[in-house]
């Protein structure tokens, strides 16, 4: 595949991308003999926008998706915009115009593609305006991430920053309160005021936040754990924390 092309697979991911950026599509491959009600919306949208479609055997789709669940559809597309720290001002200004205070998710070194996809899905559902990740040592937007995110990757910007701590300090200067999650604190999530301009920081799988990231948070909180297992999957913990912020904001 050419450098200026990407693959996307999965029904929700492709539907969302056609809906948001049909001009990016080069070609869609569909599983031969499968024209059921789940694939028909994609077929109809492809016809509407004049996107080339081709019926192919399952083996072809399996090879393109490298063994991941493609749900009978794979697309070849032009790359989308890569968001950087330079885009944050515009993202927050756009939210402000809608009367929305800053609500951001920062992932410090989450490398698992399935976790990033699930966090994107959580963020979209909670109304997060952007996810901020370090440029290095973190998962990127891959076909698997887009599939797991079931379309959310097309609506929540993934902002890759060169220096995470510097970006956090810039957000703090803009009045954004940064809450980090760490097991060693005594402060429970549910005892913390979580309204106003807010950024939630979640650490990497297993290791948690890096030291400098943790030291630059305004406050650290933890989830109460009643069982024998000491921690939750990062995407599950992210969903719980985000929706506690949503609950408090809407109270």
Q: Is 239 annotated as a binding residue?
A: no
Q: Is 105 annotated as a binding residue?
A: no
d(CA 9, CA 71): 8
DSSP 208: B
DSSP 216: T
Give how far Cα 8 sits from Cα of 40, 44, 60, 230, Å.
17, 18, 14, 36
Backbone angles phi, psi at 218, to 5 degrees: -75, -30
Which of 100, 107, 142, 104 is CA-nearest to residue 237? 107
Q: Is 232 annotated as a binding residue?
A: yes
Say which residue the tokens 């990757």 belong to: 153
d(CA 139, CA 75): 21
Strand partners, 178: 199
- Binding residue ranges for S-adenosyl-L-methionine: 203, 223, 232
Query: Which amino acids are annotated as binding site, given as ranges?
Result: 203, 223, 232
């Amino acid at each position: 595949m050419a450098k200026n092309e990407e693959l996307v697979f999965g029904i929700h991911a492709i539907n969302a991308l056609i809906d948001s950026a049909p001009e990016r599509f080069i070609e869609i491959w569909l599983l031969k003999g499968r024209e059921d009600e789940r694939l028909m919306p994609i077929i109809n949208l492809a016809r509407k926008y004049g996107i080339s479609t081709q019926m192919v055997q399952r083996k072809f789709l399996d090879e393109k998706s490298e063994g991941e669940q493609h749900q009978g559809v794979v697309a070849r597309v032009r790359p989308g915009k890569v968001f950087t720290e330079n885009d944050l001002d515009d993202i927050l200004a756009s939210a402000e115009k809608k009367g929305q205070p800053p609500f951001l998710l920062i992932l410090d070194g989450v490398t698992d593609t399935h976790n990033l996809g699930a966090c994107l899905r959580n963020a979209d559902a909670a109304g997060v305006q952007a996810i901020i990740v370090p440029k290095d040592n973190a998962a990127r937007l891959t076909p698997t991430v887009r599939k797991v995110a079931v379309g959310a990757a097309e609506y929540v910007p993934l902002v890759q920053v060169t220096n995470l701590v510097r970006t956090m300090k810039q957000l703090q200067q803009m009045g954004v309160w940064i809450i980090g999650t760490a097991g060693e604190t005594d402060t429970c999530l549910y005892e913390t005021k979580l309204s106003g301009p807010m950024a939630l920081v979640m650490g990497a799988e297993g290791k948690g936040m890096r030291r400098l990231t943790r030291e630059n948070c305004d406050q650290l909180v933890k989830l109460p754990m009643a069982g024998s297992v000491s921690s939750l999957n990062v995407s599950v913990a992210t969903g719980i924390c985000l929706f506690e912020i949503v609950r408090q904001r809407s109270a």
